[in-house]
Structure 1
């Protein structure tokens, strides 16, 4: 560009975008569907689209709503929009947008005060179970709460739950009939206490928009254009709310990747994304496949993982979408490593050693992550990193803004900003902000050099250092007008949505919680059968979701990627674990490791074993619960509810007497099988799945007495 030549609007906003991103950013009207693979710059494309639309006058910033799924993602989007000069555009989660509307319209649509919002379900779920005299522990309550959330985002009521939940197994160890009663009890407790939960926020908003034409018209007048990120994660309830916001209009842009659908258990469905072209026949489709995040070696491994998926039946194949073929844009890097260890302890030690080598070679700890399938796996890595003197942060642990040193830091910065505003140094250049932050935090213990060693002192320093680094970053992105008061306001906003800055420590996180994040180096650990795929993934669709979950894990890595597993859980234990089936063909010399030719005769006999069949319809039983009951989920139960409840009451009393969890006596599935088979002798009872010799000897006579009492009642 010649000196003195001013860039055009299009050049200013669209420069730096690739061809496909530029097409997204310049397509401002009509339905638009963006299929965006991992690392392809989707957030960049849609924020530049919004900015271009506002600056060109096509969009009014107050009349556009950008929606995403986490508060952190919404905060990140707002930050980018501010940097592009369109900070007045609203970027919110579905729940935040709906809650704001509900708070405004509740008085005129319903009247009175809005009920109190229930932040956490656990206590109310536990009370609901107690009202039904059900024995629960923390894990059971968590599972019951998750099932209630699934039912509500699927727009089910306690009355319609049973019909639509067939095949979902035994939530919290309870059969579906009991689950529906817990669901109803939960709703009753909320009503008694004038509470609503987050799902109610969406449901009530949907109800008001459906029933009140004036409210619907007001909302549609307010919002003319919509952008929805992570559209593959939309639930039926969120989709219905979006349709009501639109009111038949087509000013909608959706962005997503079906290969990153990993929240089906919460009600999310990629069908809304995949069927977008059917709902909007004139929609424009743009595919983003240029991966700017990862090296060609990482990208190739991710592509190969999805390509290795084989047909798994009509239903599963219909749910599986053709994955995007990513094309790496970065220079070549190291090949992903595959590490087999003798046991979990050895695996954790090997990972800690590898992390230490990376840090010594210059990789920042904050750019390293250890990702696992379940949160229970983290402890071994916490211990190994501590033993190696390596700091870490556990994603999902104590929230950054809840830490004492962070709260103290914000208070000190707020006080300093007030003094700064009332001083006579208004002409002080804003570039001094970074030094101001350092000076203020020095008064509460910050130093330029990190303290030696680890522990609480190091963790405190890491928190303060993260605030200093954020100040440095914002001075660059926001420019010379960004002052200390602006920095405090930024921290307050980030605190409200838990948008924490980067902390210098190795991240430990579950694969689910790693979605949307990225690191220079990623260690994917515990990749053995039973953990990846997880043992309770007992359908083809569930296994496909586990494959997508591993794909998400792989695509978090920019350059260095390690995949590891162990052969035994404990040192000296039997080496009976197998590497994950997903690694077949990906790791060296594993292309035929699971082929029929490599199977032992014993393994071949196990594969050839005929499947268990439903005693009612003869259909093959797919889940452990179905095999235990001897009946598929689609066939109606044949037991008397009074008999089942009598067995549950006996189990509860027995569990209390023995001070054991109820499921250790008999699971709900076993009690259903007993109630349906109506055994009259120990021999008949022994034929019920789940009643082994020891339990038959310990509880057999008591169970038969319960059955006899019920027959005589």
Structure 2
């Protein structure tokens, strides 16, 4: 592959970013705009053009999985040897190498978990703690360290009103003493923690010019992915690596900053051109992941906050977000539903997943995302009852499974690996056929199905890599598996993914269900200040942009069946509901409450009921249709399809998504009621004066022709 061939297939902005090889470069890349593609092609182009020595370039990202994915892509582009690591992995390697020279003696062991040492530190100070508070205290120590705060400086910052809540049930002064006690216990036991790896590396580079010079000689060019998530400590380390040079490329999106609680800040991304006066800025806004309907909702969510900025007094910083432009064909309108309780919501989602299966959407391309891990139980139960396999992200690691370890051992030792002239996929299938793999998936659930899914994931990975790489060998496949195992970069497993919104960052699926979108969960209860609510909005934005085609957003009125239904849908849904042309959800007093409300008569007028069976409706799409999901449609299906064809033509002419003309629910009511005048059209939910002016005459013409 020549240097110019590396640039083939990139769009104009990606190509500009990939071909800018020297000087400071800032790539502002929205969700789904191909940022990893841009930076890996940039590195490969620089290597092929002879500008970069692959062994003297360091690419830094935030997860071992992302680093492994970057190395895999660079190998496929013919640029092996590039160092792609996390900040901690790169710092640890340098710390281990330079410890004998800079400090001497034996390097301390790295502490896996802080809780045990924190408990001892608390006992020394006679502070009573429980396991939950110890976890909160450990998180606060991690935040303090990545914010480069010592116990003394932490107290100064806290007393100046930094907005930090009192951690773990102790006041800030007590925490500062506990923080110091924890450091003393570590020192006594000759241990260091995860954050110390960065702190010690920074200390060595600042204090020892020999070490700093050697590191700067080794690495001449730097690439930093997810730059909006850099902490002050990581930025300090990056500055020391650079040593005043400006051969750096950063990639990020301030709208995807969702880890502020760990010390991450978008300030370094937003102020990059101030720190590097000669920096070039390239914006990637072409979204290749999601349909126009999904992208429009994502844009609406962020622009709604931008409009709020003008109304706030003393508003916190809010940078103008990138406005994405979808490059995909139009897709189905996103769904927004409200349910009676959590179990009803989970059951409905399981039912919808069954519908997607009928449309040939693989289970591995479906995800249910929620705000807290405690929400997963209802979905686990609903999927199990429906016989739908699933995987909990963040639970058992793929390469730790017994059947996977057996399969890897079999692949290493099998005589089929290098014999018979089989391709890698053929050899992998032959070996794994004796370990539970079959061409057809077993119809049962349980252990047999789980084993097959593990084997199928390995087979699928062999197919993928063989298609991507020239002269792909089993030796190369085994090396890839070893690297993925070390980085816990698991292949795709067949099953619905259940994950928190935070753990879904960097992933994508064909269909995404965003569940539990209630006040108190989205935004979370403890998000009180505007900057905290802004972070919750960005988290919701990340959730929306995980979806390629199908997007469903749902909330539940109560936690348990028979509850009073006091929960409110998330405030973030209001602009999205307007965008989708949906009415506000109707609410009523629970029949069992027995209470009287002075507004009850007004509310009763708004209560919507099914025109067929009389059931009270609460789901927005059912309210609009005036029909519950169980009752049969009462409209002429031929007329409904004719209206859909008319809508597609209107949308194409106006260059807008189809749902912005009329939603399916509105078209169903029109097909059923057959309004013949403007007055009758205005009575249809979803038809306002603006839409009547735009589409009234043409829709009446369709109805007249079909009379």
**Separation (CA, whole Å) in 2 of partners of 1:39 and 1:316:** 33
Equivalent of 1:376 in 374, 377, 385: 374
Quick one: structure 1 residues 364 and 275, their matched pair in 2 at CA, closer, same or farther if it must change by over 3 Å? same
1:174 aligned residue: 170
**Separation (CA, whole Å) in 1 of partners of 2:39 and 2:71:** 12
Equivalent of 1:586 in 576, 588, 599: 576
**1:463 Cα shift?**
1.1
**Separation (CA, whole Å) in 1 of partners of 2:271 and 2:598:** 46
Q: Is structure 2 residue 474 aligned with structure 1 residue 484? A: yes
**1:314 Cα shift?**
7.4
**1:135 Cα shift?**
3.3
Equivalent of 2:206 in 184, 202, 210: 210
**1:590 Cα shift?**
8.4
Quick one: structure 1 residues 316 and 291, their matched pair in 2 at CA, closer, same or farther if it must change by over 3 Å? farther
**Separation (CA, whole Å) in 1 of partners of 2:297 and 2:117:** 45
Runs of 4+ in 1 over 6 A off after TM superposition: 312-316, 589-592
Quick one: structure 1 residues 478 and 308, their matched pair in 2 at CA, closer, same or farther if it must change by over 3 Å? same
Describe the SS at the equivalent of 1:581.
Answer: coil
**1:198 Cα shift?**
1.3
**Separation (CA, whole Å) in 1 of partners of 2:261 and 2:480:** 34
Q: Is structure 2 residue 107 aligned with structure 1 residue 114? A: yes
**1:456 Cα shift?**
2.2
**1:210 Cα shift?**
0.4
2:679 aligned residue: none
Conservation of the 8 A alpha-carbon contact between 1:584 and 1:590: no
- Structure 1-normalised TM-score? 0.79
1:609 aligned residue: none
**1:318 Cα shift?**
4.3
Report Cα offsets for 1:450-471 as digits up to 9, x if no partner: 2222122211211111111111
Q: Is structure 2 residue 565 aligned with structure 1 residue 575? A: yes
Conservation of the 8 A alpha-carbon contact between 1:316 and 1:540: no
Conservation of the 8 A alpha-carbon contact between 2:517 and 2:569: yes
**Separation (CA, whole Å) in 2 of partners of 1:508 and 1:19:** 36
Q: Is structure 2 residue 88 aligned with structure 1 residue 92? A: no
Quick one: structure 1 residues 591 and 172, their matched pair in 2 at CA, closer, same or farther if it must change by over 3 Å? farther
1:249 aligned residue: 245
Q: Is structure 2 residue 131 aligned with structure 1 residue 133? A: no
**1:586 Cα shift?**
1.1
Describe the SS at the equivalent of 1:443.
Answer: helix
Quick one: structure 1 residues 218 and 553, their matched pair in 2 at CA, closer, same or farther if it must change by over 3 Å? same
Report Cα offsets for 1:365-394 as digits up to 9, x if no partner: 000000000000001100100000000000
Describe the SS at the equivalent of 1:495.
Answer: helix
1:678 aligned residue: none
1:322 aligned residue: 320
Q: Is structure 2 residue 7 aligned with structure 1 residue 14? A: yes
Equivalent of 1:332 in 330, 335, 339: 330
Conservation of the 8 A alpha-carbon contact between 2:417 and 2:427: no
**1:524 Cα shift?**
0.1
1:73 aligned residue: 66
RMSD: 1.9
Describe the SS at the equivalent of 2:575.
Answer: coil
Q: Is structure 2 residue 304 aligned with structure 1 residue 308? A: yes
**Separation (CA, whole Å) in 1 of partners of 2:126 and 2:260:** 31
1:157 aligned residue: 150
Q: Is structure 2 residue 452 aligned with structure 1 residue 461? A: yes
Structure 1 range deviating more: 438-447 or 519-528: 438-447
**Separation (CA, whole Å) in 1 of partners of 2:582 and 2:393:** 35
Q: Is structure 2 residue 220 aligned with structure 1 residue 224? A: yes
Conservation of the 8 A alpha-carbon contact between 2:121 and 2:181: yes
Describe the SS at the equivalent of 2:423.
Answer: helix
1:393 aligned residue: 391
Conservation of the 8 A alpha-carbon contact between 1:584 and 1:591: no
Q: Equivalences for 1:649-668 in 2 at 5 Å?
A: none
Conservation of the 8 A alpha-carbon contact between 2:293 and 2:334: yes
1:435 aligned residue: 426
1:470 aligned residue: 461
**Separation (CA, whole Å) in 1 of partners of 2:293 and 2:123:** 54
- Structure 2-normalised TM-score? 0.80
**Separation (CA, whole Å) in 2 of partners of 1:182 and 1:546:** 30
Report Cα offsets for 1:86-107 as digits up to 9, x if no partner: 1101100000000000011000
Q: Is structure 2 residue 541 aligned with structure 1 residue 551? A: yes
Q: Is structure 2 residue 500 aligned with structure 1 residue 510? A: yes
Conservation of the 8 A alpha-carbon contact between 2:577 and 2:583: no
Describe the SS at the equivalent of 2:290.
Answer: coil
1:635 aligned residue: none
**1:316 Cα shift?**
7.2
Q: Is structure 2 residue 344 aligned with structure 1 residue 346? A: yes
**1:81 Cα shift?**
0.4
**Separation (CA, whole Å) in 2 of partners of 1:179 and 1:315:** 33
Describe the SS at the equivalent of 1:58.
Answer: coil
**Separation (CA, whole Å) in 2 of partners of 1:155 and 1:98:** 16
**1:519 Cα shift?**
0.1
2:41 aligned residue: 48
Quick one: structure 1 residues 154 and 464, their matched pair in 2 at CA, closer, same or farther if it must change by over 3 Å? same
Conservation of the 8 A alpha-carbon contact between 1:585 and 1:592: no
Describe the SS at the equivalent of 1:65.
Answer: strand
1:39 aligned residue: 32
Equivalent of 2:21 in 24, 28, 39: 28
**Separation (CA, whole Å) in 2 of partners of 1:299 and 1:136:** 46
Conservation of the 8 A alpha-carbon contact between 1:565 and 1:579: yes
**Separation (CA, whole Å) in 2 of partners of 1:457 and 1:314:** 57
**Separation (CA, whole Å) in 2 of partners of 1:315 and 1:233:** 27
**1:143 Cα shift?**
1.3
